[in-house]
Structure 1
Amino acid sequence: MFLAINEIRHSKLRYTLVMGVMFLIAYLVFFLTGLAYGLAQDNRTAVDKWNADTILLTEEANDNLNMSMIPIKTFDEVEADEKAYLAQTAGVIQGEGEEKIDASFFGIDRDQFLAPAIVSGEMFSSDDEAVADSSLRDQYDIKLGETIKMAGNDKKLKIVGFTDNAKFNVAPVLYTTIGAYQEIRFESDNVTDNTRINAIITRGEVQTIPDDLEETSISSFINALPGYSAQVLTFGFMIGFLIVIAAIVIGIFIYVLTMQKAEIFGVMKAQGISSRYISNSVIAQTFLLATVGVAIGLIATLGTALVLPEAVPFQVNALFFAGISGLMILIAMVGAFFSVRTIVKIDPLKAIG
């Protein structure tokens, strides 16, 4: 470690460049990870809020919530520890301003477990009221008590409450009654036994399932969300390749620096300094450069997260960031072992000339 630190002090510019490359790659990896995680969460946070085990959809729906249409009377035929019905549709809303906003509407029963936790305001109590995701307040400045209207529909809803982390397919969710859902989707508020819902959500054990319904785990349902799996895989491969590239780059830098110092290492070996001592120095040097570069990249990413606008789906996951940090440092260390092999093969007499 003594030799590694002193060599870095002696050649500040050279090792600063190596550290800078590591920092830039680490910053890019962390930033992409935050974007990938944030975008993935924006697809599913409303589903995660259910804290449910399974979802019942029609067999023909192929795990697609929009394609599942279930008569509401079927709800009584399902026997489970806990159950709740859900009607969902996409829509476009407009507040008191001119901006149009894509949204997702959840028609629920306020007395069932799908009712969200309220962070401000109160739960809806009529077909003309709704509870909205807080992003409508923070990003679009829609206020408590404000009335929103549907694009292409005469239906209006008063925002009486806000809840956190309620997005579905990257759109903020508005919770309202089945009657309001009927008006938004079918332009009719007549709720009968044949009124259609999209799914029945369950917790615990399900005892009885009607023949025309299919039980799917919540995790499988999330993976089947349009574009979700493809998005996660795409970002996962990008981040993985960047980590490997970072390791290769740092390995190449260390290898080139080692070859440039072959004569110096030869003199050191001729003086009786062991190959093991020199190799440990190179490994310690790589560890320092990689650790500092990754740490600065992580700090820069966290700083960037503080100034990003609300519209950017960036979220910090401490576990992911810690794992990626350790992996980048570990793979960089593996790359340094190629330099160690070169050091061991150095012949003192040939190196001195």
Structure 2
Amino acid sequence: MLTHSIKEICFFKLRYILIGFILFFVAALVFIINGLANGLAAENISSLKNMNAEAFYIAKDANNRIEQSRFSISDVEKISKDDRVEPLGLQMLSLKKSGSNQKVDVTIMAVHPKGFLMPEVTEGKSIATSKEPQLVVNNSIKDDGVKIGDELYEENSETTFTVVGFTEKETYSHTPVAFISLKSWEDMLGSQVKPYYNALVLKNDNQVVKSDVKGSLGSGVWVSTDDVIKGMPSHQAEQTSLNMMLIFLIIIAVFVLGAFFYIMTIQKMNQFGVLKAIGAKNGYLIGTTMLQVFFISVVSISVAVGFTKLMQMLLPSSMPFIFNGVLILTYAGILMVVSMLGALLSTVNIIKVDPLQAIGRVE
């Protein structure tokens, strides 16, 4: 059966290459969109995902959105000092690069310089606890020409920040995160509005600490990191749109591949009839067809996986693309199942073929 399947593929090379190309392009498109979806998700929420946090205490009416939550600094200071819970300030700003008119969009995150919310610095040094406004920024800001020692000016508060270090994989809402000290945050807001913090962040699940915070503030609610991520409208909209595209691609693949396999089966009706006339059973003919489809699917999908991996290496670093092996293999398995089902539906014609009529049509 296997030998017969391979011989037929070699004999009708063009026919099977065409089907293989169709499956390759569909699979490659599914894998690339999946990589873009993962990349966009990471660029949108990586700072929250990487944050060493168990839960966030935010205002009840904030709809799980940190940027819409506010607690006055005086209220936050009521909470007893505990290294398991820290205040967090968050604001999206445009900073002007000193000596030019260039502006860079960043998300400011105010954290304790030596606290658990401060990420690892990969280049340069960490922010100081002194009054001097300093920044540790995600390294993606280098694409805007920002380097260590540069000064970034915030116009509203008339504050000049000095870039002292870089971190990585710290982005929020598609902007690089810039970490500043709590003191710098209070000074920056002091010239605009009444200073506030957006949330309190709990390092590990602790009911005593949660009760203490709720008893001191009383105007908020504890939510998990996943709930905060779900509360970001841009994240939900992006992922829903891309997932819908993937679903429709797979549905389209069902019909396209099913149609191709059906046409291929119709073209071989005479051949099937002759084989039946000389004693071939339906099981043998169906098995041969399924083996051919399996072989083509494995080769085409494997090449598509390799092509997607190559695309990841060739795409510029500014392109949000993540090759997630587990998800890629999952979608590869789904496409394999789709291919086999499409081929299986077309084998109904093999069972129906009449050997006598087929022999009569043979020239």
TM-score bucket (shorter structure): over 0.9
Among 169, 172, 175, the residue aligned to 2:176? 172
CA shift for structure 1 position 240:
1.3
Task: Note the residue ranges of structure 2 that are not aligned, 5 or more in a row.
Answer: none
What is the CA RMSD across the aligned residues, in angstroms?
A: 2.0
| Matched residue type, 1:90 | M
State the distance in 2 between where 1:80 and 1:146 align.
35
| Matched residue type, 1:128 | P
SS in 1 for 2:144: coil
State the distance in 2 between where 1:54 and 1:78 align.
18
Tell me what 1:155 maps to.
159
Among 279, 289, 299, the residue aligned to 1:282? 289
| Matched residue type, 1:41 | A
CA shift for structure 1 position 80:
7.7
Among 137, 146, 149, the residue aligned to 1:145? 149
CA shift for structure 1 position 7:
1.3
Among 288, 311, 322, the residue aligned to 1:315? 322
**Kindly tell me: are residues 263 and 122 of structure 1, through their superposed partners in 2, closer, same or farther at Cα, counting changes over 3 Å?**
same
| Matched residue type, 1:47 | L
SS in 1 for 2:177: strand
Tell me what 1:305 maps to.
312
Identical counterparts, % of pairs: 27
User: Do residues 89 (structure 1) and 91 (structure 2) align?
Assistant: yes
CA shift for structure 1 position 73:
3.9
State the distance in 1 between where 2:183 and 2:300 align.
57
Structure 1 residues 275-313: Cα deviation after superposition (integer angstroms, max 9, x where no partner):
111111111111122222222222222212212122221
Q: TM-score, normalised by structure 1?
A: 0.93
Do 2:83 and 2:115's aligned partners in 1 also have CA atoms closer than 8 Å?
Answer: no
| Matched residue type, 2:240 | L
State the distance in 1 between where 2:80 and 2:263 align.
68
Tell me what 1:199 maps to.
199
| Matched residue type, 2:111 | I
State the distance in 1 between where 2:358 and 2:330 align.
41
State the distance in 2 between where 1:303 and 1:116 align.
31
State the distance in 1 between where 2:188 and 2:124 align.
23
Tell me what 1:11 maps to.
12
**Kindly tell me: are residues 266 and 36 of structure 1, through their superposed partners in 2, closer, same or farther at Cα, counting changes over 3 Å?**
same
State the distance in 2 between where 1:64 and 1:36 align.
22
User: Do residues 269 (structure 1) and 276 (structure 2) align?
Assistant: yes
User: Do residues 337 (structure 1) and 339 (structure 2) align?
Assistant: no
SS in 2 for 1:77: coil
State the distance in 1 between where 2:49 and 2:114 align.
19
State the distance in 2 between where 1:78 and 1:223 align.
30
Tell me what 1:115 maps to.
118
State the distance in 2 between where 1:318 and 1:235 align.
18
Among 125, 128, 137, the residue aligned to 1:132? 137
CA shift for structure 1 position 151:
4.8
User: Do residues 66 (structure 1) and 73 (structure 2) align?
Assistant: no
Q: TM-score, normalised by structure 2?
A: 0.90
State the distance in 2 between where 1:110 and 1:216 align.
24
**Kindly tell me: are residues 250 and 349 of structure 1, through their superposed partners in 2, closer, same or farther at Cα, counting changes over 3 Å?**
same
**Kindly tell me: are residues 352 and 226 of structure 1, through their superposed partners in 2, closer, same or farther at Cα, counting changes over 3 Å?**
same
Do 1:108 and 1:177's aligned partners in 2 also have CA atoms closer than 8 Å?
Answer: yes
| Matched residue type, 2:199 | A
Do 2:6 and 2:292's aligned partners in 1 also have CA atoms closer than 8 Å?
Answer: yes
Tell me what 1:37 maps to.
38
| Matched residue type, 1:143 | K
SS in 1 for 2:305: helix
Task: Note the residue ranges of structure 1 that are not aligned, 5 or more in a row.
Answer: none
Do 1:80 and 1:206's aligned partners in 2 also have CA atoms closer than 8 Å?
Answer: no
SS in 1 for 2:347: helix
State the distance in 2 between where 1:93 and 1:292 align.
50
CA shift for structure 1 position 180:
2.2
Do 1:119 and 1:163's aligned partners in 2 also have CA atoms closer than 8 Å?
Answer: yes
**Kindly tell me: are residues 78 and 62 of structure 1, through their superposed partners in 2, closer, same or farther at Cα, counting changes over 3 Å?**
farther
| Matched residue type, 2:269 | A
State the distance in 2 between where 1:217 and 1:130 align.
27
**Kindly tell me: are residues 185 and 2 of structure 1, through their superposed partners in 2, closer, same or farther at Cα, counting changes over 3 Å?**
farther
Q: How does 1:338-353 map to 2 (within 5 A)?
A: 338-353=345-360
**Kindly tell me: are residues 281 and 71 of structure 1, through their superposed partners in 2, closer, same or farther at Cα, counting changes over 3 Å?**
same
State the distance in 2 between where 1:95 and 1:253 align.
57
CA shift for structure 1 position 153:
4.8
Do 1:130 and 1:159's aligned partners in 2 also have CA atoms closer than 8 Å?
Answer: yes
Count residues with an aligned counterpart.
Answer: 348
**Kindly tell me: are residues 183 and 72 of structure 1, through their superposed partners in 2, closer, same or farther at Cα, counting changes over 3 Å?**
closer
Structure 1 residues 328-352: Cα deviation after superposition (integer angstroms, max 9, x where no partner):
1111111111122221222211222
Do 1:89 and 1:185's aligned partners in 2 also have CA atoms closer than 8 Å?
Answer: no
Do 2:156 and 2:192's aligned partners in 1 also have CA atoms closer than 8 Å?
Answer: no
